[in-house]
Amino acid sequence: MARTRIPPVAGGLAAAVAVVLAAACWVVFPPETAGHAIAARPAVDLPLPWPAEGQASAEVQNLGSLGSRGEQGPVPIASVTKVMTAHVVLKDHPLRPGEAGPQITVDEQAAAEANSAEESSAPVRAGRGIGERDLLALMLVPSGNNVARLLARWDAGSQEAFVAKMNREAAVLGMTSTTYTGASGVEDSTTSTATDQLRLAREVMRNPVIREIVATADLRVDGVPGPIANTNTLLGRDGVIGLKTGSSTAAGGALMWAARARDGALILGVVLHQNPGGTPAAGLRAALDNSGKLIAAIQRELPAATR
């Protein structure tokens, strides 16, 4: 069979197009070496105070990557896990803005876990019906581990079945360095990278229900003692509108964050593995402090860099 000959000009154009597409994909979806993502090449190179330890990644909507720092190898992410839990629940049971959603009965397990001194929880009572949106808020705002597992059981019948959904969704989003082993993040075996979690942040901030919940500074739910404060104390500073904190001894402090630039553009970032091995409270303070410095610098430097 005779081979089809590609004219030199056409071949050259095709090669040029391939190079351009490959370069674009490099920025948006960084390659991997031995399972570890290589830091994304910044589309806008700003002088930023990246955290000295752990890993971080940031981007600006419709502009591109601001870069990454630290080895992008999987580390425990603690309660940042709950962002994927919320994403999967809302994918299976979508809500419109302002909609309460179906009533979900608090089971005995969730009520018993509300009294745990070992992990963060929300004060829910057995037998009480709470709307889907309010439960999502109790999971994301005060970081209720018991509510995360309740939502997983309600959605999939068991936490194990729900975790399988989480991992399938991570694969769909191209989160190749992520493994979920629980719905709450309490397990140190749930691991990810800043670049992977940035992909998830990009996806969930398209959902107006999640955007509204994670921007809530304090929460009131009928039948639940309140008000309940958001663990993300950066809200309202430097345009911050979310997203989710995480902390444990193994994970240190973690923060997936979202902010609005002065021109309204959405800035997204993830900071992981801050002060690991110390107390969860110290790790969270480090994650919030370092993220705050990073966000303030982006807000300051971005306008001049994009003129």
| Given 120, 143, 247, 291, the catalytic residue | 143
8 A C-beta contact, residue 214 and residue 258: yes
8 A C-beta contact, residue 214 and residue 243: yes
What is the Cα–Cα distance from 23 to 21, expressed in whole angstroms?
5
For residue 277, what pLDDT is reported? 96
Q: Which two tokens stand for residue 149?
A: 């597992």
Is 244 a known ligand-binding residue? yes
| Given 82, 165, 177, 247, the catalytic residue | 82
For residue 41, what pLDDT is reported? 63
Question: What's phi and psi for 223, nearest 5 deg?
Answer: 85, 0
For residue 40, what pLDDT is reported? 53
The residue behind tokens 């992909």 is 199
Burial class (CB in 10 A: 0-12, 13-18, 19+), 170: buried
Nearest to 71 by CA among 195, 251, 200: 195
What is the Cα–Cα distance from 262 to 255, expressed in whole angstroms?
22
State the 10-residue block means of pLDDT for the chain, 307 residues long: 39 39 40 43 85 97 93 97 98 96 97 91 95 98 97 98 98 98 98 98 98 95 89 97 97 98 96 97 98 97 82
For residue 250, what pLDDT is reported? 97
In the annotation, is 293 catalytic? no
What is the Cα–Cα distance from 183 to 172, expressed in whole angstroms?
18
Is it true that the peptide bond before 227 is cis, omega within 30 degrees of 0?
Answer: yes
In the annotation, is 79 catalytic? yes
3-state per-residue secondary structure call for the chain: CCCCCCCHHHHHHHHHHHHHHHHHHHHHCCCEECCEECCCCCCCCCCCCCCCCCEEEEEECCCEEEEEECCECCEECHHHHHHHHHHHHHHHCCCCCCCCCCEEECCHHHHHHCCCCCCCCCCCCCCCEEEHHHHHHHHHCCCCHHHHHHHHHHHHCCHHHHHHHHHHHHHHCCCCCCECCCCCCCCCCCEECHHHHHHHHHHHCCCHHHHHHHCCCEEEECCEEEEEECCCCCCCCCCEEEEEEEEECCCEEEEEEEEECCCCCEEEEEEEEECCCCCHHHHHHHHHHHHHHHHHHHHHHHHHHCC
| Given 68, 79, 121, 291, the catalytic residue | 79
* Domains contained in the chain, CATH given: 44-305 (3.40.710.10)
For residue 14, what pLDDT is reported? 41
In the annotation, is 68 catalytic? no
pTM: 0.86
